[in-house]
């Protein structure tokens, strides 16, 4: 399969310290992409950057903090002059009864899953203009298509992300900026805050859940398409998962 050579491209990966973000960073560096690692876990980012080498740059960032996001993209512009890929991956999901849910958990979910995407995307767009094949790629979820009992606020953020990207495609497409969603089903990550780990693992084992590398491969596949090709949505599920 003939795909675009990604060597020399510049990417920002949020939530890069673990799971899908870590796997995506590895996959992009393997393609010769300069990757900016953004997350709150400074020590984990530094360990990953040391492993990945000179193509990895650590810029610790809380994506729910607008000022921190502004500093992140100002530094990207200063160092690289532009941006080819924003991978909005940072996200959290608290589970449990909506009625009994804690409002601080709602706010944390909305800050990262929605405001983080909004803040990062707005700051990335000016850096992408005039760069062939530039792409905003965001991890949504099968939970952005179907409601999941016990994850109402998480679902609300992911449905919002789907709507945002549908509108942005129409706004940015004429400029040549691609907007893509990756919507995974069950993945072996630390997703599912305040859900017992044994319960989550049992469900994932039953479904033969995806690995973070599976999502990273989907990202590279989408980004490496020719500049006039936009894989708008990639719904990727374990074969055994037939419902959310």
Tell me which of 94, 154, 188, 243 is the catalytic residue: 154
Q: What's the Cα-to-Cα distance from 13 to each of 58, 61, 120, 146, 228, rounded to whole Å?
A: 10, 11, 10, 26, 23
Q: Give the pairing of strands 178-184 and 56-58.
A: unpaired
Catalytic residue at 94?
no
Place of tokens 């767009």: 125
Q: Minimal CA–CA distance to 233: which of 153, 156, 145?
A: 145
190-226 burial, b if ≥16 CB within 10 A, otherwise e?
ebbeebeeeebeeebeebebbebbbbbebbbebbbbe
Annotated catalytic residues are 154
């Amino acid at each position: 399969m003939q795909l675009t050579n990604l060597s020399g491209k510049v990417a920002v990966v949020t939530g890069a310290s673990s799971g899908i973000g870590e796997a995506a960073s590895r996959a992009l560096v393997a393609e010769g992409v300069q990757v900016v690692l953004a997350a709150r876990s400074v020590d984990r980012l530094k360990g990953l950057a040391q492993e990945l080498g000179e193509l990895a740059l650590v810029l610790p960032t809380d994506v729910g903090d607008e000022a921190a996001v502004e500093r992140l993209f100002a530094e990207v512009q200063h160092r690289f002059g532009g941006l080819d890929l924003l991978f909005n991956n940072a996200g959290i999901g608290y589970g449990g009864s909506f009625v009994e849910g804690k409002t601080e958990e709602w706010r944390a979910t909305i800050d990262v899953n929605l405001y983080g995407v909004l803040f990062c995307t707005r700051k990335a767009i000016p850096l992408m203009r005039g760069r062939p094949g530039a792409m905003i790629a965001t991890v949504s979820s099968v939970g952005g298509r179907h409601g999941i009992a016990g994850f109402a606020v998480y679902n609300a953020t992911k449905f919002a992300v789907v709507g945002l990207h549908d509108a942005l495609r129409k706004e940015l497409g004429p400029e040549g900026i691609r907007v893509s969603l990756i919507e995974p089903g069950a993945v072996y990550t630390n997703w599912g805050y305040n859900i017992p780990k044994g319960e989550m693992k049992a469900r994932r084992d039953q479904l033969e859940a995806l690995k973070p590398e599976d999502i990273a491969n989907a990202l590279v596949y989408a980004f490496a398409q020719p500049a006039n090709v936009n894989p708008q949505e990639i719904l990727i599920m374990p074969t055994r998962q037939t419902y959310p």
